[in-house]
Amino acid sequence: MAVASDSFIVRGLITGKATKFGLKNEVFGAKVVPCRRNSGNGGKVVRVGVKAAVQIGGLEEVKTAKQELGFDVVSEGELREKGFLGMRKTKLVCTIGPACCSMEDLEKLALGGMNVARLNMCHNKRDWHLDVIKKIKKLNEEKGFCVSVMIDTEGSQIHVLDHGAPSSVKAEEGSIWLFTAQKLEGSHPFTVQTNYEGFSQGIEVGDVIVIDGGMASFEVIEKVGNDLRCQCTDSGLFLPRAKFSFWRDGKLVARNSELPTLSKKDWADIEFGVSEGVDFIALSFVNDADSVRQLKNYLYMRSSRSTRVLAKIESLESLLNLEEIVEASDGIMVARGDLGVEIPYEQIPTVQEEITRVCRELNKPVIVASQLLESMVEYPTPTRAEVADVSEAVRQYADALMLSGESAIGAYGQKALSVLQMASSRMELWSREENRESILHQRQLGVSLPDQIAEQICNCAVEMANNLGVDAIFVYTKHGQMASLLSRNRPYPPIFAFTSDNGTRMALNLQWGVIPLLVDLSDDMEANISRTIDIIKTKGMLKAGDAVLVVSDLTPAHLNSTAYQSIQVKTVV
Ligand X SMILES: Nc1ncnc2c1ncn2[C@@H]1O[C@H](COP(=O)(O)OP(=O)(O)OP(=O)(O)O)[C@@H](O)[C@H]1O
CB of 407 to ligand X, least distance (A): 9
176: which strand partners? 231
**For the purposes of burial, counting CB atoms within 10 Å of the CB of 264, is it exposed (0-12), middle (13-18) or buried (19 or more)?**
exposed
Question: Any contact of residue 123 with ligand X (CB under 6 A)?
Answer: yes
- The residue among 249, 243, 252, 211 whose CA lies nearest residue 230 is 211
CA atoms of 399 and 89, how far apart (whole Å): 8
314 or 406, CB closer to Mg ion? 314
Q: Which among ligand CC(=O)C(=O)O, K ion, ligand X, none contacts residue 98 (Cβ within 5 to 8 A by kind)?
A: ligand X
Comparing every residue's Cβ against ligand CC(=O)C(=O)O, the nearest one is 337
Give burial (CB, 10 Å; 0-12/13-18/19+) of 149: buried
- From the list K ion, ligand CC(=O)C(=O)O, ligand X, none, which binds 123 (C-beta under 5 to 8 Å, kind-based)? ligand X
Which residues lie below 8 Å from residue 58, measured CB to CB, with a gap of 6+?
573
43-78 burial, b if ≥16 CB within 10 A, otherwise e?
eeebbbbbbbbbbbeebeebeeeeeebbbbebbbeb
The interface mask with ligand X, positions 172-201, x = CB under 6 A, is ------------------------------
Instruction: State CA 82 to chain mean position distance.
Output: 24
484 CB-near residues (< 8 Å, 6+ apart): 363, 365, 508, 511, 514
Region near ligand X per CB under 6 A, out of 32-40, 117-125, 380-388, 421-429: 117-125
**CB closer to K ion out of 45 and 122:** 122
CA nearest 3: which of 59, 41, 30?
41
* Residue list 339-398, contact with ligand X (CB under 6 A): 370
Given candidates 242, 270, 335, 473, which one binds Mg ion under the rule CB under 5 A?
335
- Strand-pairing partners, residue 548, are 472, 570
If one asks whether residue 338 binds Mg ion (CB under 5 A), the answer comes out as yes
> Quick check: 438 and 463 in contact, CB under 8 A?
no
CA angle 33, 365, 279 (to 5 degrees): 120
Residues of the shown chain interacting with ligand CC(=O)C(=O)O in the complex, contacts defined by CB under 6 A: 284, 312, 314, 335-338, 369-370, 404
Binds 480, which of ligand X, ligand CC(=O)C(=O)O, K ion, none (CB < 5 to 8 A, cut-off by type)?
A: none
Quote the least distance from Cβ 119 to Mg ion, whole Å.
Answer: 14
Shortest reach from residue 278's CB to Mg ion, in Å: 18
Which of 10, 59, 65, 122 touches ligand X by CB under 6 A? 122
CB of 369 to Mg ion, least distance (A): 8
369 closest CA partner among 397, 395, 345, 338: 338
Binding-site partner at residue 406 among Mg ion, K ion, ligand CC(=O)C(=O)O, none, CB < 5 to 8 Å by type: none
In angstroms, what is the minimal distance from the CB of 275 to ligand X?
19
CB of 340 to ligand CC(=O)C(=O)O, least distance (A): 8
Residue among 72, 78, 152, 553 that touches ligand X (CB under 6 A): 152
**Could you tell me which of 398, 405, 341, 409 has the C-alpha nearest to residue 372?**
405
CA distance 284 to 315: 9
CA torsion sign, 40 to 44 to 45 to 50?
negative
- For residue 336, the partner it binds in Mg ion, ligand CC(=O)C(=O)O, ligand X, none, with Cβ less than 5 to 8 A by kind, is ligand CC(=O)C(=O)O
The helix-helix angle for 413-434 and 384-395 (nearest 10°) equals 50
Please list the residues that pair with 194 across neighbouring strands: 160
**Smaller CB separation from Mg ion, 314 or 534:** 314
Interface residue with K ion among 75, 120, 487, 565 (CB under 5 A) is 120
Query: Whole-number minimum distance, CB 370 to Mg ion, in Å?
Result: 7
Query: How many residues bind to Mg ion according to rule CB under 5 A?
Result: 3
Q: Confirm or reject binding of residue 284 to K ion (CB under 5 A).
A: yes
How big is the site for K ion, counted in residues (CB under 5 A)? Answer: 4
Selected binder of ligand X within 73, 253, 351, 409 (CB under 6 A): 409
What is residue 534's DSSP assignment?
H
Q: Which is nearer to ligand X, 338 or 534 (CB)?
A: 338
Closest CA to 464 of 483, 442, 445: 442
Interface with Mg ion (CB under 5 A): 314, 335, 338
Interface with K ion (CB under 5 A): 120, 122, 152, 284
Interface with ligand X (CB under 6 A): 95, 97-98, 120, 122-124, 152, 284, 337-338, 370, 404-405, 408-409
